[in-house]
Amino acid sequence: MNASAEEPTLVGMELSELEAMLGPEQPAYRARQLFDALYRKQVANLTEISALPQTLRNELVTKISLGRLIAEQRFDSSDGTRRYLLRLADNRTVEAVLMPEENRDTVCISSQVGCPVDCRFCLTALMGLERNLTAGEIVGQVLFIAAERGLSAASPRMNVVMMGMGEPLLNLDNVLKATRLLTDVAGVGLSPKRITLSTSGIIPAMEEMGKAEVRPKLAISLNASTEEQRRELMPITRKYHLKDLLEACRVYPLRTWEKLTFEYVLLRGVNDTDADARRVVRLLSRLNCKVNLIALNPGPGIKFETPEPERVLSFQEIIKRAVPCFVRQPRGRDIYAACGQLKRSSPELVGIV
């Protein structure tokens, strides 16, 4: 079936939507059976849903697509990271990344095709925004990678980070719907502790997310130590000021087990000095948070440079005195899978770094 992004697919529907789609002539338990097949059993094909009568399966096949995503290309890094180029129903493509580690697998998923936020150091920004992903396309990335990995998406190994292409808080409704579907214990069953969303700081949407009953953990891309510097690097700061962002963080309703994460991309000679680190400490010292440092992952069209490892360590030392601070090791740089490197994969990009 040739569905466009606007045509609903089964993956992405909540129980009430499945009930409505099946219609009043079906008993209510049919929707629950379908929900179970889609999200708990994670069937690859409608015909596999043996709980449903054959006639209903046949009817569904003609009526609606399942909505599983298809890999168009896979790129394997020497460090085990895999980047997938997934084809959507309208023939656009989006990227998802699997980072296997000893005790866990982190799945980095996209929330938009491209991104409208114009961060100066990010390759995705160069694409602009093509469109928002549907909840089904967001959930579909997790189901796809779990199936590839031969794991249940609910396996305690699985961690999901919404840190791929796009600004998730500019697609909040779909992101929250996907989070509900991923965490439903009758379905995929991931713990909300294992889903993290990263934002460039869309303040009103942050406030709205804080009110949602089911929501991912929150990470904020800080990336600068002053209002002016942030405005240069992340022009969105002209609209959403750093001062207001930090205030929104101060009042953000953290759950008992939750801490805010701040991400900070280190750009050589731009925002990586000891004075920057001390300013970051002053900005964050009263927040319940930790900091993840990311040395710039370079790319064509990006005019910044990566700091030396010693500079990254000195920066970390200063932050660590006040706030827990970690250095995020780059994963999959050789296949353009690392943070900020997700762009429509063109073969000529692969293997450049």
- Which parts of this chain interact with ligand SF4 (CB under 6 A)? 115, 117, 119, 122, 124-125, 166-167, 200, 340
- Cβ distance to ligand SF4 smaller for residue 101 or 118: 118
- If residue 100 lies in a helix (H) or strand (E), which one and from where to where? strand 93-100
Q: Looking at this protein, which amino acid is placed at residue 268? A: R
For residue 183, the SS3 value is: helix
Distance between CA atoms of residues 95 and 350, nearest Å: 14
Interaction between residue 294 and ligand SAH (CB under 6 A) = yes
The neighbour count for residue 300, using CB atoms within 10 Å, is 12
**Distance of alpha carbon 140 from alpha carbon 130, whole angstroms:** 19
Q: Is 137 a catalytic residue?
A: no
- Interacting residue with ligand SAH among 18, 163, 190, 289 (CB under 6 A): 163
**Chain length of the chain:** 353
Query: CA 247, CA 242: separation in Å to the nearest integer?
Result: 9
Angle at which helix 172-183 crosses helix 135-149, to 10 degrees, equals 40
- Decide whether 19 or 272 has the Cβ nearer to ligand SF4: 272
DSSP at 41: S
Q: Which does 294 bind (CB under 5 to 8 A by kind): ligand SAH, ligand SF4, none?
A: ligand SAH
Tell whether residue 339 is a contact of ligand SAH (CB under 6 A).
Answer: yes
Question: Which CB sits closer to ligand SAH, 105 or 263?
Answer: 263
By C-beta, is 77 or 110 nearer to ligand SF4? 110
Residues numbered 224-283 forming contacts with ligand SAH, rule: CB under 6 A: 263, 265
Q: Does 137 bind ligand SAH (CB under 6 A)?
A: no
* Residue choice 35, 121, 144, 336 for contact with ligand SAH (CB under 6 A): 121
CA distance 193 to 158: 11
95 in active site: yes
By DSSP bridging, strand 195-199 and strand 217-221 are: parallel
Please state whether 253 falls in left (phi above 0), alpha (psi between -120 and 50) or beta. Answer: beta
Supply the DSSP symbol for 11.
T
- Using CB under 6 A, which of 11, 86, 94, 122 touches ligand SAH? 122
* Minimum CB–partner distance for residue 198 and ligand SF4 (Å): 7
- List residues near ligand SAH by CB under 6 A: 119, 121-122, 163, 167, 198-200, 221, 223, 263, 265, 294, 296-297, 302, 339-340
Residue numbers annotated as active site: 95, 339
